[in-house]
Amino acid sequence: MIDATHDPALQSWVETANRADSDFPIQNLPYATFSRKGHEPTRLGIAIGDMVLDVGAAFQIPAMEALMALPRSLRIDLRRQASALLSKFSPGADRLLTPLADVDLLLPCNIPDYTDFYASIHHATNVGLLFRPDNPLLPNYKWIPIAYHGRASSVVVGGTPVRRPRGQIVLTAGASPVYEPRRLLDYELELGAFLGPGNRLGEPIRIAQAEEHIVGVCLLNDWSARDIQTWESQPLGPFLSKNFATSISPWVITLEALEPFRCPPPARPAGDPALLPHLTAVGDTAFRITLEVWLRSARMQEPVRVSQSDFSTMYWTLAQMVAHHTSNGCPLRPGDLIGSGTVSGPERHNRGCLLEMTRRGSEPLALPSGEQRRFLEDGDEVILRGWCEAPGFRRIGLGECRGTILPALL
């Protein structure tokens, strides 16, 4: 799948795309939904440097939903056409561009459904040790990609403030719950994936075809109220602790742009169960994607990086998530969103949430301002960033996903 669009020597006539520090060189070409500042209709765009290309005007594709419904072969053709347009100037092509500073970036599309997985064995083990030190991983974890059905209506584009939720918590063991603003508010560093064109009810997507239905990825912050989660999760899992807000970055980094960063999934340790046939894939089905969390309190001028992790360490791949999601015949639709679950690693600086980072608040995080954080405070801003790099290829970025915590309503 590597072709001329991945050539590291390829440059664009949009000069800012050729800068070494650009997230959006011509080798990336991520999609977004935007509107020019004011009241104009929304448009489908492609980022190139500090500009956005109007895809509707250039290629007559009006919206992200239409793009996601296309078969992968046509999405590949569209990427090649966009690369050709942006690598060799033709008269009038500059009129298809708008500075990013002059647009509002919106949710990529209407999201029909949202499912969040739990695919990092490091995260599952770290959290399990906090609550079940003698049995951190439950018996099914190494057999199936665990997930819960999230709430699409509360997915928001990065930059949208996040209101601290209220809910039921138990302050001391054995006491009755109280209803009040949540104290143990957390972020979760995740990778999201947008899906399409989807399958019919009752017809599973086979693992060999799963990537045909992965349009691209984004940054995802699965905000979590840990005190609500502890009380409500037995026996049916997360509910109000998760569905009050999920932030995603506006850019959809296509699977085609990620091709140079493929790698084998981690080898399964001796003693782990063999994959069942519907989850067994061959080849390089994982991706090297570096993900970071940055945090800024209301007293800080600049954010500080608090963690960095690698998506290639996940126990379950995106293709396995898609195959498992549909293995019972569940239909997926264009624009469906899945989350990877918190992306964590074995070391403290690899841990993708404060629950892990601070060991449930017992080892607070020290900030340059002299403050400490066990969990998030009002006014804190969380910034997710990501990028891919590999020898012989151009570095590409995922942009940012930001969210600031607002006080709970009275």
What tens digit of pLDDT does each residue of 237-279 get? 899 999 999 999 999 999 999 999 999 999 999 999 999 999 9
CA dist list (Å): 200 to 4, 51, 87, 203, 219: 34, 38, 39, 6, 28
Question: What pLDDT score does 377 carry?
Answer: 98
| C-alpha span between 54 and 56 (Å, rounded) | 6
CATH, residue 40: 2.30.30.230
If asked whether residues 227 and 293 sit together in one domain, one would say: yes
Q: Which domain holds residue 22?
A: 4-105
Which secondary-structure segment (H or E) carries 77? helix 72-87
| C-alpha span between 354 and 245 (Å, rounded) | 17
Q: What is the mean pLDDT of the chain?
A: 96
| C-alpha span between 406 and 410 (Å, rounded) | 12
> Euclidean distance between the first and final Cα of the chain, in Å?
54
| C-alpha span between 249 and 220 (Å, rounded) | 7
Count of beta carbons in the 10 Å neighbourhood of residue 367: 18
Q: What percent of the chain has pLDDT over 90?
A: 94
C-alpha closest to that of 321 among 144, 123, 143, 124 = 144
If asked whether residues 161 and 225 sit together in one domain, one would say: yes
Last residue of a domain, one of 83, 105, 127: 105
| C-alpha span between 399 and 387 (Å, rounded) | 8
Question: What pLDDT score does 103 carry?
Answer: 97
If asked whether residues 43 and 168 sit together in one domain, one would say: no
If asked whether residues 43 and 188 sit together in one domain, one would say: no
Question: What pLDDT score does 38 carry?
Answer: 81
If asked whether residues 130 and 94 sit together in one domain, one would say: no
Mean pLDDT of 368-372: 97
If asked whether residues 203 and 68 sit together in one domain, one would say: no
Count of beta carbons in the 10 Å neighbourhood of residue 254: 24
Higher pLDDT, 62 or 1: 62
Last residue of a domain, one of 65, 82, 105: 105
Number of domains the chain is built from: 2
If asked whether residues 295 and 218 sit together in one domain, one would say: yes
Question: What pLDDT score does 84 carry?
Answer: 98
In contact, 125 and 370? CB cutoff 8 Å? no
Question: What pLDDT score does 358 carry?
Answer: 97
Question: What pLDDT score does 338 carry?
Answer: 98
Per-residue pLDDT of 27-59, as tens digits, reads: 999 999 999 998 778 999 999 999 999 999 999
CA dist list (Å): 113 to 210, 328, 331: 18, 17, 10
Convert 270-305 to b/e letters by CB count within 10 Å (16 or more is b).
eeeeeeeeebebeeebbbbbbbbbbbbbeebeebee
Question: What pLDDT score does 90 carry?
Answer: 95
Question: What pLDDT score does 223 carry?
Answer: 98
If asked whether residues 331 and 371 sit together in one domain, one would say: yes
If asked whether residues 46 and 177 sit together in one domain, one would say: no
CATH, residue 167: 3.90.850.10
Confidence band for 174, pLDDT divided at 50, 70 and 90: confident
Mean pLDDT of 158-174: 94
DSSP-derived 3-state class of residue 10: coil
If asked whether residues 50 and 97 sit together in one domain, one would say: yes
Per-residue pLDDT of 296-342, as tens digits, reads: 999 999 999 999 999 999 999 999 999 999 999 999 999 999 999 99
Last residue of a domain, one of 73, 105, 137: 105
Return the active site residues: 123
| C-alpha span between 66 and 33 (Å, rounded) | 12
If asked whether residues 55 and 168 sit together in one domain, one would say: no
If asked whether residues 374 and 234 sit together in one domain, one would say: yes
